[in-house]
Amino acid sequence: MTTTAHDAAVQDFQMFIDGASTGATSGRTYESIDPYTGEPWARVPDADGTDVDRAVAAARAALAGPWAALTATQRGKLLHRLGDLIAREANRLGELETRDNGRLLREMAGQMAYLPEWYYYFAGLADKNEGSVIPSDKSNYLVYTRHEPVGVVAAIVPWNSPLLPLTWKLAPALAAGCTIVVKPSDYTPVSTLALADLVAEAGFPPGVVNVVTGWGPEVGKALAAHPDIDKIAFTGSTQVGRLIAQAAAGNLTRVTLELGGKSARLVFPDADLDAAANGVIAGVFAATGQTCMAGSRVVVHESVKDALVERIVARAQTIKIGNPMDPATEMGPVATDKQYATVLSHFASAREDGATIACGGKPVESLGGWFVEPTVLVGVTADAGGPRGDLRAGRRGHHVHR
């Protein structure tokens, strides 16, 4: 993924460390691929452990320096200002996310338009985080508690909605007085880098927020095992979450893990089947199955299975796939070449496990990018895919169980 040739069609972005835009110490870069075209559209720094050390040192200095000197009310004002700037740039941020991950622009734009609410909420909460005075059995003792920031936080965020899970980490951390080092997904770094520019514009002191990009596991490993990181907040796969927990254990670093699942829709005989089918369709296809809460399997009572499958298949076959920037598009591409190959491999393994493809199950090569037909699988057993890899949220098909 490393590139040295300049391509006028490819936009260049920089990391954000200690309040300034910067490249990787090594000078390396890599390209982000637009899932709609399958072609590179952006170029970002390919950092390593040295850059992680720079970012963590900047966050540590800010924690004990200018950031610590601000009152909670002043922190809240900065957060509110950041929310205003995100609202101003919501359309652009949505377009950047769509270029990076292929999600529908109407979905990403909606997320970006609502994103400021988190910053406004925690802006108001910043100076409401109060301690308490505790009664003592000794008259000459004053016993009280106060809340202090955990310290330097490492935020490692996923590719499917980069700024939303980042905001869930960033806004409360800043309200509490923490500083932060962000590692966006290798595949979708650009919107996070754009957000860093807004952090600078809002007036946050240097080092409070830092963003380090890198291809492969090196940056994430360095962050997870870094002795000067006080808390790790990770959203992503269960496999990577295990590795982060193991790396953090060496330093007894606090860890919060939001990992993958296998979300099931349960349909009973008394259900309104039209409503159930609509819910199934809305719960997975709009995001191309690429959310942690995607309803990627359906467990349905045998007596209504055929009727429900008929409704789901009929609607799935009408889904319009294409350019995620087009408001008329109902489903975009798979976000990465790796995920594209994984989805197609699941179709083969499902057949081997005895499942039937009721509709879809093939790539759409005519569109140019990483497109797969809306797919419905029936007759899938509860343990399907186990030996060949867990069938998690993120894959496209529905698993209709008897």
Question: With the C-alpha atoms ordered 87, 92, 95, 101, is the resulting torsion angle positive or negative?
Answer: negative
Spatial distance between the Cα atoms of 273 and 350, rounded to a whole number of angstroms: 25
* CATH code of the domain containing 117: 3.40.605.10
267-285: pLDDT as tens digits: 999 999 999 999 999 888 8
Residue with tokens 């790396």: 247
Q: Which domain holds residue 343?
A: 264-401
Question: Which among 217, 233, 258 is the end of a domain?
Answer: 258
Domain annotation covers residue 109: yes
Comparing 6 with 123, which gets the higher pLDDT?
Answer: 123
The answer to which of 268-282, 305-319, 381-395 has the lowest mean pLDDT is 381-395
**Predicted pLDDT at 396:** 33
User: Counting beta carbons within 10 angstroms of the beta carbon of residue 39, is it exposed (0 to 12), middle (13 to 18) or buried (19 or more)?
Assistant: middle
Question: Which among 190, 225, 258 is the end of a domain?
Answer: 258
Is 257 in contact with 222 (CB distance < 8 Å)?
no
Q: Which positions ≥6 away from 391 have C-beta within 8 Å?
A: 262, 296, 297, 346, 384, 385, 399
Judge if 95 and 162 occupy the same domain.
yes
Q: Indicate the pLDDT class of residue 387, thresholds 50, 70 and 90.
A: very low
Domain annotation covers residue 6: no
Domain annotation covers residue 2: no
Give 162's DSSP letter.
T
Spatial distance between the Cα atoms of 361 and 2, rounded to a whole number of angstroms: 33
Domain annotation covers residue 163: yes
* CATH code of the domain containing 277: 3.40.309.10
Q: Indicate the pLDDT class of residue 197, thresholds 50, 70 and 90.
A: very high
Q: Indicate the pLDDT class of residue 392, thresholds 50, 70 and 90.
A: very low
Judge if 223 and 282 occupy the same domain.
no
Q: Write the CA distances from 344 to 101, 116, 182, 231, 341, integer angstroms.
A: 18, 37, 32, 37, 5
* Catalytic residue chosen out of the listed positions 292, 310, 365, 373: 292
Share of the chain above pLDDT 90, in %: 79
**Predicted pLDDT at 352:** 87
Residue 378 sits at φ, ψ, to 5 deg, of -125, 160
- Total domain count, the chain: 2
Question: What is the separation, in whole angstroms, between the first and last Cα of the chain?
Answer: 44
**Predicted pLDDT at 211:** 98
Q: Indicate the pLDDT class of residue 389, thresholds 50, 70 and 90.
A: very low
What token pair was written down for 287? Answer: 């995001």
Judge if 164 and 26 occupy the same domain.
yes
Judge if 77 and 153 occupy the same domain.
yes
Radius of gyration of the chain (CA): 23
Judge if 248 and 366 occupy the same domain.
no
The mean pLDDT value for 206-224 works out to 96
What token pair was written down for 285? Answer: 């296809």
Average pLDDT for the chain: 90
138-196: pLDDT as tens digits: 999 999 999 999 999 999 999 988 999 999 999 999 999 999 999 999 999 999 999 99
How does DSSP assign 235-300, residue by residue?
A: ES-HHHHHHHHHHHHTTT-EEEEE-----EEEE-TTS-HHHHHHHHHHTTTTTTT-STT---EEEE
Q: Indicate the pLDDT class of residue 8, thresholds 50, 70 and 90.
A: low
Is 372 in contact with 363 (CB distance < 8 Å)?
yes
Residue 110 sits at φ, ψ, to 5 deg, of -65, -40
Q: Which positions ≥6 away from 169 have C-beta within 8 Å?
A: 153, 155, 157, 180, 233
Domain annotation covers residue 131: yes
pLDDT above 70 for 89: yes
Judge if 231 and 314 occupy the same domain.
no
Whether 258 is catalytic = yes
pLDDT above 90 for 67: yes
* Catalytic residue chosen out of the listed positions 39, 95, 117, 258: 258
Q: Which positions ≥6 away from 90 have C-beta within 8 Å?
A: 109, 112, 113, 115, 116
Model pTM score? 0.88
Q: Indicate the pLDDT class of residue 390, thresholds 50, 70 and 90.
A: very low
Residue with tokens 């799935």: 316
Comparing 245 with 353, which gets the higher pLDDT?
Answer: 245
**Predicted pLDDT at 384:** 64
